[in-house]
Chains A and B, each alone.
Chain A
């Protein structure tokens, strides 16, 4: 793990920090206590249960009320392999027993907001709910823990995870920011649905109120387990679905920050309006839009036609131009760009659709289409989601790219519910926009979307080769081994072409300069506990 950290910090995080700009100043300053941070949130809260929900609409306002067993290092969230203990003590443990056992020591003296002391039994109850939920209890991240055999709490301060097989995907899965630690007492007394409507955590802030559609209010937890934190007296998460409102709210100082991200144009407008009153943090984003092909529909059941689709796309030119108008930028393969398991530029250019010679790629695409008997001007249904950033922008770009090889995609843009229905249930599309958006960068888990057997793969494909490679990848122990198998898996998945990566998202967070301590992470789900955030000169009110 440390090897990965060092490598990554040198190569990628340094670059990200340079882009951040004012980070050095942020780090050097002394935190000032006090103030209430107002931030805007675009999405709604379905319920308070992190184990069930998947949206940042819940994560941003509710995460500060809870703690995790371990978390991404809040001082270095750009590093995908740097994890720190939250409720556990010391460093994140290394695996023992041939990589199949992780033993966590739990901090003493922590209490839930209702005064109940935290013990290892709470951690066990929490992870049992996430990993082995009883029938009828939803758990959105159960699949992340396929390698876990059992969770034990041998004493009040020790939790042991027994794995079925060694897996590099385990620690990132534990650090997932939705794994809120609940009190066993609450689960026993009120059942597994109680946390959907109630909050009782050990986090840096205590829940005060939630006015649906308006705001969530939290106040400082004086008994928080990191001494001196949180710095703020409280926070107010204001619901603001329209992007223009969120931009204007920061500009007009009705809110100090938004944690999801704005497009480049919004950043430029805000910088022009506010100048040095604004800080901009930027990072690659662990979300990617893909094109998913319905392999059951002719002519897309023919691998040559699917390959032609990916060969037609000029990702490098797309990155150059789309990054000026949309929240996409980086050209990458299946793995989050810059991660030690990701393809190098040289390796990337060997993959189908990633050649720098776009004319040659398109000539090959045309030849493949001709060979497969697809006529010039062939019309097909391209399903897209009615969300501007970046779906409609990327969708329109893809239409243009495919037209360049003689295809004629008919883009149908649908509201989210109808889009999902088409993608997941009705399969009445030829090609569709699809997406993969994760929190903690956990490549081995994240790339499972390319498995034909995966529940979130909508191409209706069948490929035993890809399945076999993934099973080997899951069990690979060393980084070198993982990297080598990942290359084979990536090549096999992209050659099969049931899905193709377009461009990775790019996260831009302009915020008021007086907000300090918060560091951008490669996901809008990460680093949202806000215990290290503070404001200068009482400017948060």
Chain B
């Protein structure tokens, strides 16, 4: 097991290097740069020398390979550089958004899992009954409906509903407050995006839980358990559910990694200062440094989540052994 963990951890290095190369060189294929956006953005007279000066200061005039070396070598010294737009350290820029993104990801995962596992189980156990049809319709609607659209509906519903019932329109707060500072304000902002994304997320997990459980319920050992007269509840909860969780866990892991930086539009709808919005803004401003580091962060989260999921497999299914 230790050898496996070490091997997997070491494999992260070439993965990150490959991702670094792709993002670095692809970004430089896009015409324009951050200096153009900053200095020429309002149509004012701009001295070309000032744009060149800006490029020099940001290191954009150096040979591309030198820029790539600087980017990669930053990891060895834990220096991720500065945002080309704000001039602030990238670690600072990311840290501000990371806490919000991780909270939304955790809350959405909780919402999804709390809805999806029971619904998936009920749907599988009550296969082809009206209960199953209702659950399947509910989950298909969740897959079909984009989270951001549900988010827009939620906000409009809150505005219209609060005006109708309380006489004054209300919408969730538009800036983040830590739960340790003001728990209820924090919740009143983040519960809505968690529900909006959690619904779609739960729909995927519900369908996976249902199909995985149905497959396990057809296994020989389940038939044996039933033949022995074991109570159905114990068969489902203790023997079938745990074994059907492997693919579900994979989906949860992928979805969780996606939420860390993938909530691009939903964050815009709720004005969340998260990694997704930062990503969009950095691309829009051609802030190469920040975009590169954000992509690397998302890759790292995805790789690490998959790694954790693989480890949990072994815990869930004792037949799996890593060596």
Contacts and interface: CB of A to CB of B under 8 A. Distances in A.
Interface of A: 40, 44-47, 53-55, 136, 138-143, 196-197, 211-215, 236, 238-242, 244-245, 248-249, 251-255, 273-274, 415-422, 424-426, 434-438, 448-449, 454-456
B169 A273 contact: yes
A397 B60 CA distance: 38
Contact of A241 (B39, B53, B268): B268
B41 A47 contact: no
A55 B173 CA distance: 26
A253 B50 CA distance: 42
A239 B174 CA distance: 9
A362 to B, nearest CB: 29
B268 A418 contact: no
Nearest to B86: A212
B14 interface: no
Interface string B282-295: 00111000000000
Contacts of A239: 175, 273
A158 B42 CA distance: 34
Looking at chain A's contact residues, is the secondary structure mostly helix, strand, loop, or mixed? mixed
B281 A140 contact: no
B258 interface: no
Interface in B27-75: 30-34, 36-48, 50, 53-54
B168 A214 contact: no
Nearest to A456: B45
Contacts of B176: 214
A141 B271 CA distance: 33
B96 interface: yes
B87 A47 contact: yes
A212 B271 CA distance: 13
B163 interface: yes
Contacts, number: 160
Given A44-B281, A244-B269, 14 more contacts: A54-B38, A54-B41, A54-B42, A212-B96, A215-B175, A248-B155, A252-B159, A252-B171, A274-B169, A417-B31, A417-B34, A417-B37, A449-B43, A456-B45
A236 B33 CA distance: 31
28 contacts: A44-B86, A46-B86, A54-B39, A55-B38, A55-B42, A140-B39, A140-B46, A212-B86, A212-B93, A213-B278, A238-B271, A242-B271, A244-B269, A252-B158, A252-B159, A254-B172, A254-B173, A274-B169, A417-B30, A417-B32, A417-B33, A419-B32, A425-B32, A437-B42, A437-B43, A449-B45, A456-B45, A456-B46
Contact of B174 (A255, A274, A416, A420): A255
B206 to A, nearest CB: 30
Interface of B: 30-34, 36-48, 50, 53-54, 85-88, 92-93, 96-97, 152, 155, 158-159, 162-163, 168-176, 268-271, 273, 277-278, 281, 284-286
A449 B45 CA distance: 8
Contacts of B37: 416-417, 420
B281 A435 contact: no
A23 B293 CA distance: 49
Given A54-B41, A251-B169, A213 B174 contact: no
B271 A245 contact: yes
A143 B39 CA distance: 14
B148 to A, nearest CB: 11
A47 B45 CA distance: 19
B169 A46 contact: no
B137 to A, nearest CB: 30
A244 B171 CA distance: 12
B248 to A, nearest CB: 34
B269 A245 contact: yes
Given A47-B87, A213-B281, A214-B96, A422 B31 contact: yes
A292 to B, nearest CB: 10
A471 B71 CA distance: 48
B219 to A, nearest CB: 50
B45 to A, nearest CB: 5
A208 B88 CA distance: 17
Contacts of A252: 158-159, 162, 169-171
A215 B162 CA distance: 26
B48 A455 contact: yes
Contacts of B169: 251-253, 273-274
Nearest to B100: A214
A244 B149 CA distance: 13
Which of A53, A249, A437, A455 has its CB near the most chain B CB atoms (within 10 A)? Answer: A455
A213 B97 contact: yes
Nearest to B31: A421
